[in-house]
Structure 1
Amino acid sequence: MKQQSMKRHPKLILFLIVGIIILAGVACQSGEVISPAEATARAKSARAVVIKKTATPGGKTESGADVIPTGTKAILVGKAYLVNIYKKPGSTRILTQQEKGVEVAVQDTQDVDGATWYLIQAPAGQGWVKAESLEVETPAATLKTGDTVYLAGKAYLVNLYKEPGGTRIIAQQERGAAVEIKDVQEQNGETWYLVDAPTGLGWVKAESITAEKPE
């Protein structure tokens, strides 16, 4: 039974043999004497460390970028209209797709082969996306009069309203257009911005603008 198990895992056996040889060589150089059993245990431990690559939430990725913490709300971004959501981090198997500009929740982070992947919960389902497919929006509260910002939202066209808190739409502008903030007002607990868009002046909700230029 033991011989059959060894035949099924030739790569593992080779890895352990190489690990034992390397550890034995290191031990000889340092003057440390270890038994074959101890060398085998250390080789298995080293293998476990090599395989496990999990990014630390709130820390840095292997590329040096900031890790998006678990629980953070982020926006799907990309050059294509639809963003691929994968079955596993580092996988090429696409589970589903979601339109860019949609808000998702980050649930986990992993580094695979030097690339950072995020497990997200999107309207289309749960799955993994590459780090470049996510963007954390700058809080609208930091924006002020005179700032140039960009229209954002799920729909292609963003509504511009006659007054803050109102329902009368006076114009529409495509998502991603650059606009200038002319005024800021609070209405019923919501922040509204008067923006100067190519189609004219109008009020938009805080969630309809972002400081980051979309791709």
Structure 2
Amino acid sequence: MNLKQNIVIIDYGVGNTFSVSNAIKHLGYRKVTISDQESVIDNADVLILPGVGAFEEAINNLKSLGLDEILHKTILVRKKPILGICVGMQLMATFSEENGIHNGLNWIEGKVTKLDLPAEFAVPHVGWNNVTYSNPLFGVIPSESNFYFDHSFHFDCEKKYVTGYSDYGLKVTASIQKENVFGVQFHPEKSQTNGLKLFRGFFNLIK
């Protein structure tokens, strides 16, 4: 366990940055920074891309700050590990169908599409749900443990990138990975003990 990892949470105006920071600091990590500065991002050991709200606003904010280009270089060229949370994970897709077609970062090929569920399932999907997984990202957390969700759209991608799913009228992609790019649809910062364990598992995995 390396509590001195330099962890940078990307600040682009639509993320639950302080809640994420507080959760990670609660675990004892000493170097946790919220920033949109290229020099800070370049010096990170690991990056977190949080996100709440609509895809369009999120991707536009990233681009207006020049963070899309900075992150492309940092993630795709320098291969630094990153964890996307909720909309932060969805931004990693090729495009989103939320309120029109909007291009994403295209780090993991796929699309973000509206939850098309049986009538008895509410949209948005808000609350606790079990996640089935088999991936080192989750560390010691048993499969079928529950996490907190809050979303109306989901990431539709090839099965080879899906590392966990939640059964909510359909198999909702709950976690993804492609090389150094990780994402979770749920909110670990709102998922109490399991969420803290998820952060710990991620940092241990990429140390």
Please state which band the TM-score falls in when normalised by the shorter chain. Answer: under 0.3
Please say which structure displays the higher CA radius of gyration: 1
Q: Which has the higher contact order (CA 8 A, sep 6+)?
A: 2
Q: TM-score, normalised by structure 1?
A: 0.26
Q: TM-score, normalised by structure 2?
A: 0.27
Higher helix share: 2
